Structures are given as C-alpha cells and as structure tokens.
A = this chain, B = another copy of it.
Amino acid sequence: MRDVQGERDTRNIPIDRVGVSGVSYPLAVMDPSENVQHVTGTVRMSVSLPKDFRGTHMSRFIEVLEKCRGKMTLGNLEEIVDALKEQLAAPEAEVAIAFPYFVRRAAPVSGAESYTRIDVEFWAMKASRFDFVLKVAVPVQTLCPCSKEISEFGAHNQRARVEIETRMRRLVWIEDLVSVAEQSASAPVLTLLKREDEKALTEMAFLNPRFVEDVVREVSLRLDRDERIKWYRVSVVSDESIHNHQAFASLERFVSFPAR
C-alpha cells in the first residue's frame, strides 16, 4: 500500500506540532516510592514535522502509548519522548498526560478519612534537551478579607482552585504541591467532614481570610523557599459566591538561590 504520509511535500512549510489529542487511556502512575495508582489519562502526543514530509504516522503515537501504559512515572517520561522521536523520525517530540489523582486525607478533628481529587498533568518535551513540567490543580477555600472587614458578621467564601506548574532541579511530588496549595488558602476542601470538622474548617477560614492575590503570593513564598524548584507558574481561580463569575490571579517566576 502506498505510504501517502511519507510522500515528499513541496509546499516548503515545516509544521510545529502534529499528533493526536484527547486520547482517553488507562494508565498506571507510579509515585517515587513505587506505589501505583491506576488512573484514566487524557493524552496528547505530538512531534514537529520537517517541511519535506507530507504527514506523520498517527498510529505510532498510540503504539508508543500502548507500550508504556503499564508504567508511567516522572522517571520514564524521557523514554517516552525519545521513543516518539525515534518511531516518528522527528527532531522534536512532546507528550502531555492529564489525569485525576486521588490523595488520602484525614478530617481535622474526627480524623475521618476520604479521598481528595487532584487534577494532575505531566508535560514533557525534547528536542536536544529534555524539558518537564509537573502541574497540579488543587481545590481549596477562599474567604474574602474585604467582606469580613466591612461586614458586621459573616464573610463570603467559596471554592477556589490553585494551579501550580513547576520545573524542577530535584523531584517534587504531587503531595508536596497539594500541601503548599492548601496551606496558602483560607482552608482546605475535603470530601468527608463530620460536624466537628465542619466547625473547625468554618472557623479556620474565618481566621485566615485570603484574596486570590494573597493565595498566589503565599504559594509563591513557599515555592521560593524550596530548593528543588527552579521555575513555577501559579494561578488561583475563585468561584465567587457573590458573583456568577470568577476572580483570578497568576504569576510566573524563575527561582534563583539564594531567593528574594
């Protein structure tokens, strides 16, 4: 059969990225202690396409995914992009793997345990040098300092989402970034809370009012002190309870040591 994709292209236009996206696939994610979590991944894989080729061979992306689905770690992401480069004869390859990840949490007073869902993304790219970004999105609570200050009682509060992306010097794991996010907000968000826990979180939030601007800065202060991190982007999006829209703040920073 004719290899239409492999034909010579004369339009003289290199393509930055060509590949597959929205691939829903079962994956086994291993943390640094070799614990496995079986997750449902949404995968995007792509390569750059030199100007002389008409197309790439899309099925080879899936073949590479098939081979590595049983074990997906921060350690073998470079192998995956290397495999893509080789299988597709490409100068550059990229992979992005998004998945819901569950961390076990205990309620603050009762100790009742439940899972919190964290949205995680591994992103890796390689031309000559390997580049990797770990992203986590963590649900938290924000309580408005202005509302608390100006009102005689109460203060509006709401669910917000802290997103942290990092490039690292040494491995930082998902749970580390979840802690940073939760400590920087007015209060954490948990799936199972008994009445005594609800009381504790309500009071904690009232004692820790935070604008989205505050949360983003608190995250920044914590990440600046972490020698394992060399770059980060943090954004906080708050589903305002007095509005039908979101408030957000974001910042991006390279960290040099000693830090500011």
Contact A212 B18 (CB under 8 A): yes
Contact A20 B246 (CB under 8 A): yes
Does residue A166 face the partner (Cβ distance < 8 Å to B)?
Answer: no
Per DSSP, chain A at the interface is mixed
Given A157-B156, A198-B156, A203-B153, A248-B13 contact (CB < 8 Å): no
Contact B159 A20 (CB under 8 A): no
Residues on the B chain within 8 Å of A102, using CB: 25-26
Chain A, 31-53, CB within 8 A of any chain B CB: 37-40, 46, 49
Contact A199 B151 (CB under 8 A): yes
Interface residues on chain A, size class: 35 or more
Does residue A179 face the partner (Cβ distance < 8 Å to B)?
Answer: no
Name the distance in Å between A169's Cβ and chain B's nearest Cβ: 21
Contact B247 A217 (CB under 8 A): no
Name the distance in Å between A90's Cβ and chain B's nearest Cβ: 13
Chain A, 61-110, CB within 8 A of any chain B CB: 62-63, 66, 69, 100, 102
Does residue A171 face the partner (Cβ distance < 8 Å to B)?
Answer: no
- Distance between Cα atoms of A159 and B239 in the complex (Å): 8
- Distance between Cα atoms of A117 and B243 in the complex (Å): 11
Q: Give the most central of A15, A156, A157: most B CB within 10 Å.
A: A156
Does residue A114 face the partner (Cβ distance < 8 Å to B)?
Answer: yes
Contact A191 B25 (CB under 8 A): yes
Chain A, 183-228, CB within 8 A of any chain B CB: 187, 189-196, 198-199, 201-203, 205-206, 211-214, 216-217, 220-221
Contact B100 A40 (CB under 8 A): yes
- Distance between Cα atoms of A216 and B56 in the complex (Å): 13
- Which 9 pairs from chain A and chain B are nearest by CB? A154-B206, A38-B38, A151-B202, A18-B249, A24-B117, A139-B244, A62-B192, A4-B146, A23-B245
A residues within 8 Å of B by Cβ? 1-2, 4-5, 9, 11-26, 37-40, 46, 49, 54-56, 58-59, 62-63, 66, 69, 100, 102, 112-117, 139, 141, 143-147, 149-159, 187, 189-196, 198-199, 201-203, 205-206, 211-214, 216-217, 220-221, 237, 239-252, 260
Can you name 9 A-B pairs with beta carbons within 8 Å?
A1-B195, A13-B217, A15-B217, A22-B246, A117-B244, A147-B198, A150-B198, A154-B157, A190-B242
